[in-house]
Structure 1
Amino acid sequence: MRSRILATLLTAVLGATAAGCGGDGAGGTDGAPLDAGTKVSVTVGCMPAKSQEAQRKEWNEDVAAFQKLHPNITIEGKDAFPCIDPQTFQAKLAGGQMEDVFYVYFTDVQNIVRHGQVADLTPYIGQVKQYKNLDPTVAKVFKEGGKVYGLPRQNYTMGLFYNRKLFTKAGLNPDAPPKTWAEVRDAAKKISALGDGVVGYAELSSKNQGGWHFTPNGFRGATMIAVCNW
């Protein structure tokens, strides 16, 4: 099923724009409601690159459909690469150079909410029909004080693989794998005790590319003991 992320975001942005929270149209200031027919331009970051033909096609279709319904609103996509640069993100935001609709890393959400750098979308969420279908734990990331400040673009679930043969060799039941971090730790110790270079638990990474899964481990309360460059 096609995921129409842009269409969903623009639905919420429509309400915020009408309330004067975005765009650069004449006749309104931030916070002041705009007339329904006022012409405005809304910039949207992370437009798919031309090399991503399928995603770019969906994006353009969403924009065309939106602008057909709202001819007074012009959507201007920005396809800079990388679309989110941690080195310049905060500077662009603080300097007012960020797009009206922009993507943000999971770890930055609460910070920009606390600093009042994002609009409150709560009054307009009712217009987003798909909102009720979002995973509550994912949607919660963009909530603060009962208000909604953003919508998730995508999410993924992480899991652990285990070696049934090693479980059996270590005296563990391969049909009853660990369900808690404490059980993972105990099983890892028993497997490591087999010796001969066997590692009970390992996170694989190289060239500084493991942060995306090391970070969730930290949020879950896991402790990083050592990092080995193999």
Structure 2
Amino acid sequence: MRMNNLGRATVAMVIISLSLLTACSRQDDLLLNGDSPQHVVEIIVWDKPYVGSADKPYYERMFKEFEELYPNIRVIHLEAAYQKEREQFMTAVAGGEQPDLYNTAFPDMESYMDQGIPADITEMWEAYADRVSFSPIAMNVASKDGRIYGIPNFMYVTSLLYNKRLFEESGLKPDEAFESWKSFGLAAQQMTDRANNRYGHAILGTEWADWFYEYYVWQAGGDLTSKNEDGTVKLTFTSEPAVKALQYFKELRFQYKATQLNVLQSLDDNKKDFYAGKAATMITTSNWFGEMIAAGINMKDIGTTMLPPGPAGVSLAQIGGGIWMLNPNASEEKRRAAFTYATFFTSKYAVEELLKFQKENGIMPNLLSVRMDVDPSSYVEGMPAALIHNIQKAVDESRLEYFLKSRLSPYVSKAVQEVLLDEETDPFEVLDKAQELAQREVVDPYNSEITMKTSGAPQ
């Protein structure tokens, strides 16, 4: 017997409903068992999609599905300030207006845990059967001293992107070019052709200049900060690896003359230069490939690799992402409601629905997932297998950004900019000046706060 359209739609809705109920049964238990209230619980979540977001229709649909599944939870969706979210969030925390659920970046999580900003959700997490499906790397970011303080919802990894065609035209072999800092500098120099508006490497000199600069510090065997056992932080801006890395930035700019002329141009302009074939190489992340395809790039012309090893002989990628963080000052019922909401959006069902939406709408997904039972590459068509393999392999040689980055970034970035703008600038001197200022304005107050917390002294 043939089914009419209404019959098919009814069956489809039943299947979707059963899938949702199965995926979210544990959240129901966490929210409704014991003394949990049956009245409506209202939570504030900073997750309203930005205007023009390609994924906005997906989130609006999922918001409605959550409302239908959990009528006793009312979610107030607020939009965070674009590119000023950290400042907005910390202002809210200081003013006692921390949202019930907030998505924080990986590098902020450790300092937030030290300051007691996220709620301890260990008991709820251990009662959540699906916890075993989450990436151990991402879970490490959300953990401290065996306790759980967040739920990973997004993860990316970096790599070096290069234009195969430009390498061939210059008579260069990528493997040889990426053997060391020197070989990379020479290759970038050889591919630079000012007459044809082409250059070897898109360097990052914006207000986020420390983001990529820190990778070179790692390749030189160091870092920009170190964390002491008592939770306080020590600055290492003037360490030998940090100075060597900044000296190499200076060489790429002035000795090899292999970067864009406007070293302060935006990251978006760096991307546009690469997409247009003006830049031969740039650092990328696993969730930027959609932009490349939209820009008309043939993925067969693109290669990815690890950054060239530095003086320490190592090559490391950076792992980053987002963590759902609950408000420790919210009531228990609000925390349980927030946990239910966060685990709904990180469920296998929700993650796969996003991938399906992206595939149906021609959006290239992030090639990494915080869930080990979801493979984003299975939703991708036309992406070279070698490229996907290199992106996923980079995770094995990755690390988190330097500790206290969100507060120290302006100081490091300014030092990088000074070196890129003036050939006479001494890398050690600008780093020393940056360290002295950052010590006084950021580290001393931070260490004092941490010391008072650990000693139990009144603040």
**TM-score in same-fold range (> 0.5):** yes
Pick one of 165, 185, 191 that aligns with 2:187.
Answer: 191
Equivalent of residue 229 in structure 1, options 251, 258, 264: 264
Larger strand fraction of residues: 2
- How does 1:69-148 map onto structure 2 within 5 Å? 71=72, 74-82=73-81, 85-148=85-148
- Counterpart CA distance in 2 for 1:130 and 1:176 is 45
In the alignment, which of 57, 62, 74 is matched to residue 58 of structure 1?
Answer: 62
Inter-partner Cα distance in structure 2 for 1:211 and 1:143:
28
Larger helix percent: 2
The residue number in structure 2 matching 1:162 is 162
Q: How big is the alpha-carbon RMSD for the aligned residues of Structure 1 and Structure 2?
A: 4.1
Aligned residue for 2:159, secondary structure, equals: coil
**d(CA) in 2 for partners of 1:48 and 1:193?**
42
Find the counterpart in structure 2 of residue 36 from structure 1. 36
Residues 147, 218 of structure 1: alpha-carbon distance in 2 compared, 3 angstrom cutoff: farther
Deviations 1:110-164 (A, max 9, x none): 1211111211111111344443222222221111112111112212222212344
Q: Is the 8 A contact 2:44 2:99 kept in 1?
A: yes
Percent identity between matched residues is 20
Range that drifts further, 187-196 or 155-164: 187-196
AA in 1 matched with 2:58? A
How far the C-alpha of 1:188 sits from its partner, in A, is 1.0
Q: Deviations over 1:180-218 (max 9, x none)?
A: xxx34133133146486585543356xx47559527636
Letter matched to residue 174 of structure 1: P
Code of the aligned partner of 1:46 = D
> Cα 1:118–1:18, aligned 2, differ >3 Å: closer, same or farther?
farther
AA at the equivalent of 2:47: C
> Contact 1:49–1:79 (CA<8 Å) still a contact in 2?
no
State whether residues 170 and 191 of structure 2, in contact with CA within 8 Å, keep that contact through their aligned partners in structure 1.
no
Amino acid at match of 1:54: Y
Helix, strand or coil at the partner of 2:70 = helix
CA contact (8 A) 1:191 1:199 kept: no
Aligned residues: 197
Q: Give the distance between the partners of 1:99 and 1:139, measured in 2 at CA.
A: 22
CA contact (8 A) 1:120 1:148 kept: yes
User: Could you say which structure has the greater relative contact order, defined with CA pairs below 8 angstroms and 6 or more residues apart?
Assistant: 2
| Distance across 1 between alignment mates of 2:155 and 2:210 | 12
In the alignment, which residue of structure 1 is the partner of 2:282?
Answer: none
2:392 corresponding residue in structure 1: none
Checking the alignment, whether the CA contact within 8 Å between 1:50 and 1:56 is kept in structure 2 is no
Structure 1 unaligned segments of length 5 or more: list them: 20-33
Q: Is the 8 A contact 2:122 2:148 kept in 1?
A: yes
> How many Å separate the matches in 1 of 2:214 and 2:207?
14
Displacement of 1:97 after TM fit?
A: 0.2
- 1:124, 1:209 → 2: CA distance? 39
The alpha carbon displacement at 1:177 in A equals 6.9
- Unaligned ranges ≥5, structure 2: 1-19, 221-244, 254-262, 266-459
Structure 1 match to 2:339: none
- Deviation sequence 1:59-96 (CA, Å, 0-9, x none): 221233133xxx3xx33222234276222221211222
Which range moves more in the overlay, 84-93 or 188-197?
Answer: 188-197
Structure 1 residues 212 and 45: CA distance shift in structure 2, 3 A: farther
Whichever residue aligns with residue 158 of structure 1, its letter is T
Structure-1 separation of matches of 2:58 and 2:116: 35
* Aligned-partner SS, 1:158: strand
